[in-house]
Structure 1
Amino acid sequence: MKFLKLIRYKNLLMLAFMQVLFRYAFLKQQNIPLALADWQYGLLILSTVLLAAAGYVINNIYDVASDTINKPNDVVIGKGISETAAYNIYIALNITGVALGFLLSNIILRPGFASLFILIASLLYFYATTLKQIMILGNFVVALLLSISVLIIGVFDLFPATDAANQAQMAALFSILLDYALFAFMINFVREIIKDIEDVNGDYNQGMNTLPIAIGIS
């Protein structure tokens, strides 16, 4: 249970459900060719979920001090899972997630797409270690990463299956995904600001410069 709490499994389930919904309740109903077989799409979901889980782990590691003030009951590091074990879990999740992304990219003959998974893992790390302390920028990065989890569906499932005959239809569908990604970005950006307001005391004690701290909310 400590491990599930560490990776924030409820958020991961919502992420996986969203990606399943987009493919099987939307794209599969459009009478278009899709690049990924069902098992390959499963790899895409698994890779995304593993990288997100790694992001939660590294965030929990660096948030121990502030979470002890803001949400003491939610602190897992040092209470059942050591910091060393958490780092090992983080590394394992990242390596597996990126490796699956690399495998999937090569399966669909788009090896360059693997860089997207490396970018996601890197942004999650830099968010936890540095960017979250910078006003607005940290909120922007988190919201951007959530929107990427929508766009990655189009990148892997639509783009490789696009040809001259279906280009207009594929572009229209990708545009719809882009709209959903933009909506997800805006909703999550607001959510991150609200979380900063809730966590203002712990963040202030850790010397962070979030928007609520900058404008004097306490």
Structure 2
Amino acid sequence: MVFFNGSVKVVVCEAVDLRPTDFSTRLNLGVSKFQLIDPYISVDVDDGHVAKTTTKQRTFKPVWNEEFSTEVHNGQYINLTVFHDAAIPPDEFVANCTIAFEDLGKPSSDIWVDLEPSGKVHVKVELNGSASEAEPPKERVFKEKEGLLHKRRGALRRRVHQVNGHKFMATFFRQPTFCSICRDFIWGIVSPQGYQCQGELKCYVLTTALERVSLL
């Protein structure tokens, strides 16, 4: 595994063929996967949040051309997650992708990347630093440059945890819910109590601990 140290500039250019997930439309009677969405992209490096783009209204083909820069220490991946900016929080997961620093191969890359479960995103990545295969310290630090980030006051960042092909997000369950794996009741009344798979309906899984997904 290659670890990158230095500065990274990411230009989120555009995306195409975005669609709401089956999961997000499961309860919206009369709403199809072809209903337009209000997408934005969250940019992360490993577990560190870097920035988010502005929201584009009612489109499957958003164009941003927005630039973000950050300092990276012992970075492995750039993670891009598309969300629908919901009128009532939380925002809905649409698709995501992961770009490994070792796959970029050169200081400047202009690439289209496949999103899962659908769509593609066009990004430009510039690296100014060095890569190493040496084992890094456990702690990773990410420093954001001021004045380059678009932030929405009160916005809740939703991280996607990918385990055994599932895309889990911390979720608040509005009704009594049981874990799909151990069948225990998922406790809690205020903060997110568990994790919910955001994939297709056939992958619909609720759990209190991500480690349990290894049982699937």
Indicate the TM-score class for this superposition, using the shorter chain for normalisation.
under 0.3
TM-score, with structure 1 as normaliser = 0.27
TM-score (norm 2): 0.27
- From the two aligned structures, give the one with the greater helix fraction: 1
